[in-house]
């Protein structure tokens, strides 16, 4: 770990040192108490926390006064010697020989009992709490594992633009941006751009923000979310599901391996996934949901509640395939054996979480694509470059998008998606 001059060690490094070694630590006051004139400070840094013991004789009166006055979250630098003490939390403490109050902190506002809205309004401070730190470290591991899987499997990273010129999937949930006298929209998905890139690199991906102007205030929607997307030349629906299954298993495996302490601290039990993910059709899922009391007709897309019912029936993530054509976007390839359904698959995470991945096989024929665009009441002129991809050496291909925050919410067992991202954005939340 990169280290600056303020400290000789990170707290996590103390474990490997000898008793009596001199260290200089820099961090923040997590807790403080005084017993018989001795000040005990629980000090945290980026890597952990340790007890610091400050007593007369070792420190000047000024230093002791500063230590006594230091508020919760004050920043401090401590020099001292390491002592192993089984009574100390973690079995270690630092006997201070020098104390510097770097930046004081009075009445740190994040306290037990404050409300949810207050915490969101003070997100810039709330992220310092142990719970948020654990959630965000799990987030980082999910992001890293996702990137790693693609690197390990030879996918080429290709970034798509955020500004797009046309309202690709229809305009209901698009953010519009004035753009030098024209109109631009914020991307909802990198899919079309990744489809262009398969002709260069075959298997491509990106991990970047997507935007949805959805007014729905649910526990699983954000207006801005991180989206891992991939497109693969020569992949059919089953090939795509194999990729998604391998990716999701890898993410879970690596998070469990690298952040088990964070999962545990959040009270989450999670293990690497052994079995194959079940693959059921929309029709089967529909029957299942109906048996559970859902009122839904064949042809409708599954909403949050129906997905919840289905996913509660499985211990593993489950693929739901072959949705009705009319429930899905125009670019999905129809099943040649049954043209009223398309070759698509959503992956529903268990425990009621619902969709974390959506994908499928894309139409590769120009004529078929034009027919579907027209059938949906859209204008083929708006899809000129996208149609070009079917004019010059078109190939069968499939792709998918994985919602990073939904995946984190599932793996970390978070009650609300907003805690899966450092600074959440919803229709009513633009601050801090």
Nearer Cβ to a second copy, position 109 or 303? 109
Task: Find where tokens 């709490």 sit.
Answer: 129
Determine how β-strand 318-321 pairs with β-strand 279-281: parallel
Q: What angle do CA 197, 241, 229 make, to 5 degrees?
A: 35
Residue 95 Cβ, how far from a second copy at the closest point, in Å? 22
Nearest Cα neighbor of 94 from 82, 76, 86 is 82
Nearest Cα neighbor of 387 from 233, 165, 174, 196 is 196
Bridge partners, 50 (sequence order) = 43
Nearer Cβ to a second copy, position 95 or 143? 143
Nearer Cβ to a second copy, position 377 or 393? 393
Nearer Cβ to a second copy, position 79 or 147? 147
d(CA 164, CA 184): 6
Residue 9 Cβ, how far from a second copy at the closest point, in Å? 13
Residue 234 Cβ, how far from a second copy at the closest point, in Å? 4
d(CA 233, CA 396): 6
Residue 113 Cβ, how far from a second copy at the closest point, in Å? 18
Supply 392's token pair.
């010059």
Nearest Cα neighbor of 333 from 360, 302, 357 is 360
Nearer Cβ to a second copy, position 308 or 418? 418
Supply 225's token pair.
């979310």
Nearer Cβ to a second copy, position 210 or 311? 210
Nearest Cα neighbor of 295 from 286, 308, 285, 284 is 286
- Report yes or no: 387 and 366 within 8 Å, Cβ to Cβ: yes
Nearer Cβ to a second copy, position 352 or 396? 396
Bridge partners, 79 (sequence order) = 24, 98
Residue 214 Cβ, how far from a second copy at the closest point, in Å? 10
Residue 243 Cβ, how far from a second copy at the closest point, in Å? 7
Residue 135 Cβ, how far from a second copy at the closest point, in Å? 11
- Report yes or no: 203 and 186 within 8 Å, Cβ to Cβ: no
Longest CA–CA span in the chain (Å) reads 87
Nearer Cβ to a second copy, position 91 or 103? 103
Nearer Cβ to a second copy, position 257 or 388? 388
Residue 389 Cβ, how far from a second copy at the closest point, in Å? 7
- Report yes or no: 221 and 426 within 8 Å, Cβ to Cβ: yes
d(CA 428, CA 193): 30
Residue 109 Cβ, how far from a second copy at the closest point, in Å? 8
Provide the edge-to-edge strand list for the sheet that holds 182-186: 163-164, 182-186, 176-179
Nearer Cβ to a second copy, position 287 or 388? 388
Supply 148's token pair.
């790693």
Residue 201 Cβ, how far from a second copy at the closest point, in Å? 5
- Reduced to 3 states (helix: H, G, I; strand: E, B; else coil), residue 335 is strand
What letter would DSSP give residue 324?
B
């Amino acid at each position: 770990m990169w280290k600056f001059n303020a400290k000789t060690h990170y707290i996590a490094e103390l474990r490997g040192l000898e008793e009596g070694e001199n260290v200089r630590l820099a961090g923040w006051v997590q807790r403080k108490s005084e017993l018989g004139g001795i000040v005990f400070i629980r000090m945290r840094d980026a890597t952990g926390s340790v007890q610091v013991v400050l007593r007369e004789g070792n420190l000047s009166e000024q230093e002791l006064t500063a230590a006594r006055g230091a508020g919760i979250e004050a920043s401090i630098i401590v020099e001292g010697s390491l002592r192993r003490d089984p009574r100390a939390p973690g079995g270690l403490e630092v006997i201070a020989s020098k104390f510097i109050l770097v930046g004081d902190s009075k009445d740190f506002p994040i306290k037990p009992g404050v409300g949810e809205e207050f915490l969101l309004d003070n997100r810039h401070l709330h992220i310092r709490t142990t719970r948020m730190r654990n959630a965000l470290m799990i987030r980082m591991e999910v992001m890293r594992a996702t990137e790693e899987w693609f690197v390990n499997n030879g996918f080429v990273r290709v970034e798509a633009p955020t500004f797009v010129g046309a309202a690709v999937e229809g305009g209901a949930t698009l953010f519009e941006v004035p753009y030098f006298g024209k109109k631009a929209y914020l991307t909802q998905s990198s899919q079309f751009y990744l489809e262009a890139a398969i002709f260069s690199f075959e298997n491509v991906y990106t991990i970047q923000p997507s935007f949805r102007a959805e007014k729905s205030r649910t526990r699983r929607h954000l207006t801005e979310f991180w989206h891992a997307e991939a497109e693969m030349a020569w992949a059919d629906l089953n090939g795509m599901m194999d990729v998604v299954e391998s990716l999701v298993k890898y993410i879970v495996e690596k998070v469990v391996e690298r952040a088990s302490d964070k999962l545990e601290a959040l009270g989450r039990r999670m293990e690497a996934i052994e079995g194959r993910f079940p693959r059921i059709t929309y029709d089967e899922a529909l029957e299942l949901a109906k048996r559970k009391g859902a009122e839904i007709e064949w042809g409708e897309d599954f909403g949050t509640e129906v997905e919840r019912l289905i996913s509660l029936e499985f211990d593993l993530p489950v693929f739901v395939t072959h949705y009705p054509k009319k429930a899905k976007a125009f670019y999905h390839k129809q099943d040649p054996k049954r043209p009223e359904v398309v070759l698509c698959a959503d992956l529903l995470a268990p425990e009621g979480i619902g969709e974390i991945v959506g994908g499928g096989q894309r139409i590769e024929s120009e004529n078929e694509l034009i027919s579907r665009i027209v059938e949906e009441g859209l204008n083929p002129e708006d899809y000129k470059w996208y149609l070009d991809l079917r004019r010059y050496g078109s190939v069968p291909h499939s792709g998918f998008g994985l919602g990073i925050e939904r995946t984190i919410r599932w793996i970390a067992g978070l009650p609300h998606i907003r805690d899966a991202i450092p600074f959440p954005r919803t229709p009513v939340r633009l601050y801090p």
